Amino acid sequence: MSVVIYHNPRCSKSRQTLQLIEEKGVEPEVILYLETPPAVEELKDIIAKLGISPRELLRKKEAKEAGLNDDSLSDDELIKGMIANPRTIERPIVVKEEKAVLGRPPENVLDLL
């Protein structure tokens, strides 16, 4: 079972989600997305697996600070903006095969495991 978590160790929800995954006996691949943001195609794939729009993956406060709260921005512009400003990406994201969930609340990941 290949599980990937896009993780921010400074975020309590991200830490709780990682702990929950590990408590279920799964050793996920941990990607520190603030240090290594996903590529454009990777982020598009994650968004598709989440079944949401790029705008729904934005953290509101950080998006505003980065100028990504403009309703006229296209999905591609938002995705490029998120990669340039990874703090704007909601966290944590957990991916397993063709499905992904946001770990808010952390118990959301139980559906994947």
DSSP alpha helix (H) spans, 1-113: 12-23, 40-50, 60-65, 75-84
Q: Give the up-direction half-sphere exposure of residue 96: CA atoms within 13 A in the CB hemisphere.
A: 16
Strand partners, 78: none
CB 89 within 8 A of CB 57: yes
Choice among 11, 34, 66, 83 that is catalytic: 11
C-alpha span between 35 and 20 (Å, rounded):
23
Active-site residue flag, 98: no
Query: Which are the catalytic amino acids?
Result: 11
